[in-house]
Structure 1
Amino acid sequence: MHFQILFLTVLWCGFVDSRKIRGISSSYKRFYRERKSFLCIDGSKIIPFEQVNDDYCDCQDGSDEPGTSACPRGRFYCTNLGFRPHYIPSSRVNDGICDCCDASDEYNSHAHCQNTCWNLGQRERAYVEGQMRTLDEGLRLKQQLIEEGILLWREKQAQLRELQQAAEDLQIKLEEHRRRKHEADRLREQTLKALDAGDSGFRSQNSTVSSIFQLLDRNKDGSITVDEVQARVALVHDEERILSEDEAVALLGGYHQMDLTEFRHTLWDILTRGDSIKIKHSDGAPGRLLVEDSPLKAADRGDAASLFPLHTTSILSCSSCCKETGPAVEMETTNLKKAEEAYETVNMEMSDLQKKLATDYGTDWEFLFLNSQCYKLKVYEYTYTLCPFNQVTQKNTAGTEVSLGKWGMWAGTPKNQYSQMVYENGEPCWQGGSRSTTVRLTCGTETALRSVKEPSKCQYIMDFQTPVACQPVLKQRGIHSEL
């Protein structure tokens, strides 16, 4: 009989104790040691200990009812052995819905809850282990990308130095081409002035050719015949002899007559040389030469130079010079243009490279490999493209592309400023303001655009996964101590 009473007493005490500490974490058990009175945790009130977990709220902070739903501000602690412990609002205690995986929140309800903590814990541990493996692999890849970034940085620095040297060399060549172009222009200008000055002499020469032709053309029919040549032309060393028909035909270029154009290019050239034939006196008498007309004086003396005044000779010389200086000017103009284009191209490349090198690619240039790369993701009818350090765009199925922002800055936390990118000043939104995109970087073993959301109008959020976002400090978090 005494044994039965003792057993019931122990059982009741255990029931009372378990009832009173239900819904309490191990760190709070010290406040619930059974004694005569209970002090509300906020210190606002002292109540008899029997009123703890009696399903009536006495403390304003709800600390006297941790295991019931009596207090609106109360919290119930799910121990969840084998999984993650957590708090739930006390209003969910015994509401017929299993909130704790160990079923401790439904200790006095009709719900038949099973303890699923062990299975959930296994999945959680597998997930965490997977994350740790991903982190390890990501950190390994990140180190490779850091090494590649450093090499790429050095290559770009060397490329910049080469471009700067090329720009200096091209500057020297450009100045030389400018000097040559200026000299060619100056020479051409002098030639043109000389041509302008000798234009009247050139017209005089044409007049002399025409006058001699008319002198030989006795019947004024616009052509010179064999008879007319025999009548007006004599040999320099045998003035009295009349030319034979064959000799006259030879002077006419093998023909029996010629017009002014043919005369200019045949018989005129022979007359101006004055070394074999000359013009006779107007009446054709042997031994008498024409002396009154100045062009004939020159022809009579056989003095070709006097038939061509000095300025006429200069004209011929300048004409030849002009033919030479024209292509020279064109060549120097072409060379100068090519040199200017090459110099401009090098300067543009140098400016672009300097701009790239001025960008913040991380403490170890780990993000440098993202430059000049683009990543796409299709979400419903839109295709989003992220080009790091450049821009973000959106294209619909019709092919219309809209800018969602241009590279602005890093905007991560003080502990990790490289965890977030901001792209600003995209195309205007129809409601006003410009589109902008925030890119959140997450750790992963590959670099890819994972998701795109538009939480507010024309404000976009992208999740971008890459190994260079992996941080060693993440490994220190570990798995919850109660798993």
Structure 2
Amino acid sequence: MRRHIIMAVVFWSVCVDSRKIRGISLSYKRFYRERKSFLCIDGSKMIPFEQVNDDYCDCEDGSDEPGTAACPGGRFYCSNLGFRPHYIPSSRVNDGICDCCDASDEYNSHAHCQNSCRNLGQRERADVEGQMRTLDEGLRLKQQLIEEGVLLWREKQAQLRDLQQVAEDLQIKLEEHRRRKHEADRLKEQTLKAGDRGHRHQNRTVTSIFQILDSNKDGRITVNEVQAKVAFIQDEERSLSEDEAVALLGGGHEMDLSMFQLTLWDSLRAGDSVKIKGTYGVPASLADEDPNIEAAERDAVREDTDLKKVEEAYETVNMEISDLRNKLTIDYGTDREFLFLNSQCYQLKVYEYTYTLCPFNQVTQKSAVGTEVSLGKWGTWAGTPENQYSRMRYESGEPCWQGPTRNTMVTLTCGTETALRSVKEPSKCQYIVDFQTPVACQPVLKQQGIHSEL
């Protein structure tokens, strides 16, 4: 009797094992409890339970054949104990290729699969632990960069205030220099007018002296008239010889008023060799340049130079203010953690090209021969609603030959250093850049648990 009971238990266990349903996860086991009939999971059909995994597809959703390749749209569940469970298309079941690391998909084929789940799990857990260490270090560095960003933001705000104060001071100085230049120009104009009157007076003096020498009033001065009216300063009593008179007349024997101004008048004006008899000569100041005019012109030039210097300084300061204001309007993250990237550039060489990313500015590509093209200028953040700071969009680069305008999408990934990791061109003139930096590390990853699937 006892022997019969033992044989019955063994037979029952064999039968239960033979009815083990392959290819289903724990969450689906409730649909495959052995009974007289099986209801397709989509509720479309009822079949005898014996037809489950009989290598013939009865249900439209393929739920009656989870462990065979009979249904074209079916899925086989790899338990992969010790590693990550996952589904494979049921068409891969018993195809001679090991898809599940626990070899459960090749239970009835010629393939000799080894269970590699434990080794895969150990490697993945080591990778995840490395990722967690990287995440911890990245978050620590990110906090430092946030603190530096706060200080840098305050510094730039203070710099903007200082520049604005300098601009205000220069504005006051500029108005003062403009007033002074206007005054210098006015004085110069007045002095020139006065000098013009003096010049006219000088012309009248030249004419009067000419008329004195022109005894017969015929509009010309002759050798005889010069001998009669002109004498040497050092020897006024001695009369000029004919040759001396001709020399004073410029080599001729007579001259008109215009020639007089160019010859004899210069000698009389100088007052160091000849003079008109009975006089003390012609005052030299009547012919010299008016010193007031020279002073006025110097003052005007100096004020104009000073004004231009102040204008240039004012323009430079305003350009710096505009540039700083533009930088301060950029979104640098909720904690301004990305502020340190401003004014920085990062390079990566890929084959014959060198790519340069200057965050919040532009992306460029430089060939081995030195030709540089723009792959896009800073546009906006383009991440997901959950993390808008995970991507940067750079737009309106140089147009491609018979193609679109170049654009670049920069994906930010967590890392312990800030560097370009890769550059790809998945479609013509559309680039994808992997940019690693600690500020891309998110605490939410740690909270969710990267290794939850293990």
Given the two structures, how large is their TM-score scaled by the length of structure 2? 0.86
Could you tell me whether the CA contact under 8 Å between 1:81 and 1:482 is conserved in 2? no
Task: Please point out which of 319, 322, 331 is paired with 1:360.
Answer: 331
Q: Partners in 1 of 2:339 and 2:287 — Cα distance?
A: 68
Matching of residue 10 in structure 1 with residue 12 in structure 2: yes
In 2: Cα distance, 1:482 partner to 1:457 partner:
37
Match of 2:257 in 1: none
Q: Aligned residue for 1:69?
A: 69
Unaligned stretches of 5+ in structure 2? 216-222, 240-263
Percent identical residues: 70
The 2-side partners of 1:175 and 1:364 are apart by 42
The Cα shift of 1:466 comes to 0.7
Seen in structure 2, the aligned counterparts of structure 1 residues 394 and 226 have a Cα distance that, compared at 3 Å, is closer
Q: Aligned residues, how many? A: 423
Match of residue 341 from structure 2: 370
**Structure 1 counterpart of 2:270:** 265
Residues 481 and 195 of structure 1, relative CA distance in 2, 3 Å threshold? closer
Give, in angstroms, the shift of residue 482 of structure 1. Answer: 6.0
Name 1:193's counterpart in structure 2. 193
* Aligned-residue CA RMSD (Å): 2.9
Q: Is 1:229 matched with 2:236?
A: yes
Q: Aligned partners of 2:63, 2:306: CA distance in 1, in Å?
A: 91
Once the two structures are TM-superposed, the CA of residue 8 in structure 1 deviates from its matched residue by: 3.9
Query: 1:405 maps to what in 2?
Result: 376
Unaligned runs of 5+ in 1: 233-258, 272-277, 281-298
Cα deviation per residue 1:157-185 (whole Å; 9 max; x = unaligned)? 11111111111110110011011111111
One-letter amino acid of the structure 1 residue matched with residue 305 of structure 2? T
1:227 CA drift (Å): 8.7
Determine the structure 2 residue equivalent to 1:90.
90
2:407 to 436, 445, 450: 436
Counterpart position of 2:113: 113
- Aligned 8 A contact 1:209 1:268 in 2: no
Please give the residue correspondences for 1:27-38 in structure 2 after superposition, counting only pairs within 5 Å.
27-38=27-38
Structure 1 residue 203, shift from structure 2 partner: 2.4
Q: CA deviation at 1:139?
A: 0.7
Q: Which residue of 1 aligns with 2:22?
A: 22
Distance in 2, Cα, partners of 1:348 & 1:337: 16
Contact 1:84 1:480 in 2 (8 A): no
Q: Which residue of 1 aligns with 2:321?
A: 350
Q: Look up the match of 1:146.
A: 146
Shift of 1:194: 1.6
The question of whether the paired residues in 1 share the 8 Å contact of 2:103 and 2:115 is answered with yes
Q: TM-score, normalised by structure 1?
A: 0.81
Structure-2 separation of matches of 1:399 and 1:410: 30
Question: Could you say if the C-alpha distance between residues 353 and 9 of structure 1 is closer, same or farther in structure 2, counting changes exceeding 3 Å?
Answer: same
Task: Output the amino acid matched with 1:62.
Answer: G
- 1:374 deviation in Å? 0.9
SS of 1:352's partner is helix
Contact 1:98–1:111 (CA<8 Å) still a contact in 2?
A: yes
What is the CA-CA distance between 1:209 and the residue it aligns to? 6.3
* Distance in 2 between residues matched to 1:453 and 1:141, nearest whole Å: 28
C-alpha distance after superposition, 1:355-378 (max 9, x if no partner): 110111111111111111111111
Please name the residue that 2:352 is paired with. 381
Q: Residues 42-441 of structure 1 correspond to what in structure 2 (within 5 A)?
A: 42-206=42-206, 224=231, 228-231=235-238, 264-267=269-272, 279-280=277-278, 299=279, 319-441=290-412
Residue range with higher mean Cα deviation, 145-154 or 218-227: 218-227
Q: 1:56 offset after TM fit, Å?
A: 1.6
Report if aligned partners of 2:39, 2:47 keep a CA contact under 8 Å in 1.
yes
Q: Within 2, Cα distance between the matches of 1:198 and 1:160?
A: 55
CA distance in 1, matches of 2:307, 2:181: 7
Distance change in 2, residues 1:317/1:173 (3 Å): farther
Which residue identity is paired with 1:345?
A: T
Counterpart amino acid of residue 191 in structure 1? T
Partners of 2:364 and 2:377 in 1: how far apart? 9
Q: Residue 327 and residue 481 in structure 1: after superposition, are their counterparts in 2 closer, same or farther (change >3 A)?
A: closer
User: CA–CA distance in 2 between the matches of 1:446 and 1:227?
Assistant: 97
Is the contact between residue 213 and residue 225 of structure 2 (CA under 8 Å) also seen in structure 1?
no
Q: 1 CA distance for matches of 2:323 and 2:376?
A: 20
Alpha-carbon distance, 1:431 to partner: 2.3
Could you say what secondary structure the match of 2:97 adopts? coil
> Does the Cα contact within 8 Å between 2:125 and 2:451 map onto a contact in 1?
no
Which protein has the larger Cα radius of gyration, Structure 1 or Structure 2? 1
Shift of the 464–224 alpha-carbon distance from structure 1 to 2, 3 Å rule, reads same
Query: What's the CA shift for 1:59?
Result: 1.1
CA contact (8 A) 2:231 2:277 kept: no
